[in-house]
Amino acid sequence: MSIIAEEKISNLKNFIDSHDNFYIIGHKEPDGDCISSSLGIAEILKKFNKKYQLLSAGPFKRPEIKQFEKQFTKFPKKNFNKENSAVIIVDCSEIERIGEEIAPIIKDYDKFIIDHHKTSDIDNEFSIIYPYAPATAYLVQLIYESFFEKIDSEIGKILFFGICTDTGFFRFLDADSSDVFYAISRLVSKGANPRETYSEINSGKPFSTRKLLGLMLTHSEQYFDGKLIVTYETLDDTKKFGKDGRDSDSLYQLLLSVDGVQAVLFVRQDTDKTCTAGFRSKDAIDVSTIAAKFGGGGHKNAAGLSTEGTIDTLLPQIIKEFEKVLN
């Protein structure tokens, strides 16, 4: 049984039928779920004999998604006529998150959004947004199966990869996830290999990311009797170790394993004037609401943001918001 209402599936089918060409776009700094969802939608459009272009602002910093980078471009290879063309945005509900260079190009096109982020406030006939879905790739799988019943082997492997990415290889799934595992079993029956996918996601990290991980652990500090752990990455840290990507997932996993911790905050200085921040939490702490106060968003236990500021000014502001929920 699909969690997606039949009306939503019908709306998407009508949207596809009413256009000939599509731009498929996810959020900047894509992860496995974003890339897999984009490729899944591309396969659906291909089966409907529609033309499409895969766009991404990048950068493709994560080693596990490098293999897909050549399928995406930052700008359209060919500009589609707006009268019979449209945009499908996946794993993202905020236009600004697709990248400042791409957003102006697609602003006047019809748009359909497929996402699973809690902070989205969009709910109309041109969206499929389910915050409690574990991954956008899971939603794309259900959409694919609604249209074509059986999923093809190659795209099944790609969607499995995306679901594994956003669920921490199923670590983040709760006891009420039987429907998700049933869907996953259908992908495995079509050739998705859990062992190979785990290796694909977790292997091949540059040595520099191990050094950077150690540095971020050294930077970490505890707040509120150990309930919050905060760490950061400076411009000098990035220059020395971070050019080949980073391994934030391992960082969060290590810090969340500390006794008594309920949330982790990581802030990175991207430029002299801008920062990004990542939030992770356990159980009751909703970090998406904290991220939203600074223009970010995400899920209850995983969120992020990009904003103007410096580590010295931004960290105290975010810690002050955590104080409201942890004290």
For the segment 30-42, what is each residue's pLDDT rounded down to a tens digit?
Answer: 999 999 999 999 9
Q: Is residue 116 part of a domain?
A: yes
Q: Tell me what percent of the residues of the chain surpass a pLDDT of 70.
A: 96
120 pLDDT band, cuts 50/70/90, is: low
Are 141 and 224 part of one and the same domain?
A: no
Q: Is residue 165 part of a domain?
A: yes
For the segment 131-142, what is each residue's pLDDT rounded down to a tens digit?
Answer: 889 999 999 999
Q: Is residue 1 part of a domain?
A: no
Are 133 and 230 part of one and the same domain?
A: no
C-alpha–C-alpha distance, residues 183 and 240, integer Å: 43
Number of structural domains (the chain) is: 2
Residue 321 has pLDDT above 80, yes or no: yes
Residue 1 has pLDDT above 60, yes or no: no
Mean pLDDT of 119-125: 69
pTM of the model: 0.85
Are 120 and 163 part of one and the same domain?
A: yes
Q: Is residue 236 part of a domain?
A: yes
Residue with the larger pLDDT of the pair 242 and 74 = 74
Average pLDDT of the chain is 91
The confidence score (pLDDT) of residue 99 equals 86
The confidence score (pLDDT) of residue 248 equals 83
Are 269 and 310 part of one and the same domain?
A: yes
For the segment 235-278, what is each residue's pLDDT rounded down to a tens digit?
Answer: 999 888 876 666 788 899 999 999 999 999 999 999 999 999 99
Expressed as residue numbers, the domain containing 69 is: 6-200
